[in-house]
Structure 1
Amino acid sequence: MSALADRVAQMTGAATVTDPERVPGGDISDAWRLTLSGGEHGSHRTVFAKTLDTVPPPGFFEAEAAGLAMLAFTGVVAVPEVLAVEDDVLVLDWVEQGAPDAAQAERLGRDLAALHDNRTLAYGTPGRPAYLGTLRLLGPDEPVTEPEDWPAFHAEYRLRPFLRDAFDNGAISAADTLDVERVCERIDQLAGPPQLPVLIHGDLWSGNVHWAADGRARLIDPAAQGGHPETDLALLELFGCPELSRILAAYQEVSPIEGREERVPLHQLQHLLAHAVLFGSAYGAQCGAAARAALARAA
């Protein structure tokens, strides 16, 4: 067996593990399909494993496993089962790929509305690490809990850290940096009504919706945290998502949000900044455009 197969066998207690097959995955981790045989999981169970080709940041895979557990605990969204996790490997149940369809999309919209009904004690992830890609999400020393404090939290711990990194890396121009900083300065005026902290997926771009053959879409690769529900919805719109109109319409039927469309650029800005840090200046220009759109729509 390969080193990865040996590692997964040791982690899961399987008697044997077939040689791993690389499968399409995200932009950050390497993705593998393996089959477990014997041991506590029985015969011929297919699993999905994630690794990094560099040393993972501290608690990287543990943070993803914790996020999946948080989402699963609500009982209202579907996620892959976590089978094992260690510093360098995450092993999940395999979910067979399916095609996007109206029924899955409408259920996903209703499920997301139900997810966002789950209050959290504070914004962010007090007491545990969380990551967006390989970028660590920061937080204050004291938990931020009040609805009116979300704008300042978002500016200070979700926008400015990535803005500084992107500027230092040469991934965003000085002019675009100033426009993002204007958003941070005016965020109280841009953020809309006060919002209690609720559980969000936190990285819900379309690639993190896994359309399943069994007819129920799974949420994968979360940056689960206490946050603003509009962030999840705005991220579904960021790079396009199959059946998006059905997802959003079903969500709105359960939990209408007045004026959400005007705030979409604000809620997309964090992820565009993270992309600028990770992938370069093409995203820096998009950050500036999103900042100007946020400012214009709130004018």
Structure 2
Amino acid sequence: MPFVKERHDVPAGFFEVEAAGLRWLSVPGGPPVVQPLEVSAGRLVLPQVDSAPPTPAAAEDFGRRLAVMHDAGARHFGVPPDGWHGDGYIGTADLPHAQEPVGSWGEFYATYRLRPFLRTAYDRGTIGERELAVFDRVCERVAADPGEEPGRIHGDLWSGNVLWSSAGVHLIDPAAHGGHRETDLAMLALFGLPHLDRVLRAYDEAHPLADGWRDRVSLHQVHPLLVHVVLFGSSYVGQAVAAARRYA
């Protein structure tokens, strides 16, 4: 039986950009990515993935394959998946894409991943001046970070979008774009993933991570935490501020 996602209250392109992301992330040697069987406004049909318990071997295989997917690359930071030319979504929140190249990863992250969500949270009164000042310091500091070459990232790689099956890990529900590969790894750590240490070790063996990557985990987690602030309210503000303070 296929898995059907159907909602008629979603904004234009909601399922279409998800389908484009699923196709874009499917690369030879990468992790299996669930491929759309049918897509239209308000409806996305996907194959069903049978579940299996997470294992260390599957985790290590996933780590190696995730490195391959990231290494497939992207034209520039913030670029949308092939076949899509507008903005996207993360959960039900708008996710800005950069249609033209941005000067650096840090500039992209501050301009397209932090400030839009900060503006929304501030305008709604969810964060105040004191919290905003902490995030502003992060934006100013990170803007000078050149990052690495743009990777082909999932963009919303929390544990709920990692499906364990007898055929290995399958990925679903992306917010795919050209980004920093550490972003996906930080997202895996944010809400916990079984055998994450095995995933990271195998990933680092396949494509060694840059010096200091552990110190940047909290930086990459600021964006998804701000997304949660926008989607779910003030209960995530403390966690978002704490992550920002560790970098700022």
TM bucket normalised to smaller: over 0.9
Secondary structure of 2:46's aligned partner: strand
Classify the secondary structure of the residue corresponding to 1:181: helix
Aligned partner of 2:225 in structure 1 is 272
The alignment covers a number of residue pairs equal to 243
Question: Which of 194, 198, 207 is equivalent to 1:242?
Answer: 194
Q: Are 2:155 and 1:197 equivalent residues in the alignment?
A: no
After superposition, the Cα gap between the structure-2 partners of 1:229 and 1:141, relative to the gap in structure 1 and judged at 3 Å, is: closer
User: What is the CA-CA distance between 1:71 and the residue it aligns to?
Assistant: 1.0
1:48 lines up with 2:6 in the alignment: no
Are residues 1:263 and 2:216 paired? yes
**Aligned mates of 2:25, 2:120 — CA distance in 1:** 30
Q: TM-score, normalised by structure 1?
A: 0.78
What is the deviation of 1:215?
Answer: 3.2
Which residue matches 2:242? 289
CA RMSD of aligned residues (A): 1.5
Residue in structure 2 matched with residue 84 of structure 1 by the alignment: 38
2:138 corresponds to 1:186: no
Looking at structure 2, the residues matched to 246 and 197 of structure 1 have their Cα atoms a distance apart, in angstroms, of: 24
Of the three residues 85, 91, 101, the one matched with 2:55 is: 101
The C-alpha deviation readout for 1:252-280, integer Å capped at 9, x for no partner, is: 11111121100001101110000000001
Partner of 2:176: 224
3-state SS of 1:177 partner = helix
For residue 36 of structure 2, what is the amino acid of its counterpart?
V
- Taking the aligned partners of 1:97 and 1:248, their CA distance within structure 2 comes to 22
Shift of 1:177: 1.6
Which consecutive unaligned segments of at least 5 residues does structure 2 have? none
Output the CA distance in 2 between the equivalents of 1:124 and 1:60: 18
Opposite residue 288 of structure 1, the aligned amino acid is V
Higher relative CO (Cα under 8 Å, sequence separation at least 6) belongs to 2
Equivalent positions of 1:58-69 (< 5 A) are: 58-69=12-23
CA distance in 1, matches of 2:47, 2:220: 31
The answer as to whether partners of 2:79 and 2:99 remain within 8 angstroms in 1 is: no
1:156 correspondence with 2:108 = no
What letter is aligned with 1:156? T
TM-score (norm 2): 0.93
State the alpha-carbon separation in 2 of the partners of residues 196 and 216 from structure 1.
Answer: 28
Runs of 4+ in 1 over 6 A off after TM superposition: none
Question: Per the alignment, do residues 93 and 255 of structure 1 end up closer, same or farther by CA in structure 2, a change over 3 Å counting?
Answer: same
The answer to whether the 8 A contact 1:201-1:223 is kept is: yes
Structure 1 unaligned regions, length at least 5: 1-45
Paired residues for 1:23-42 under 5 Å:
none
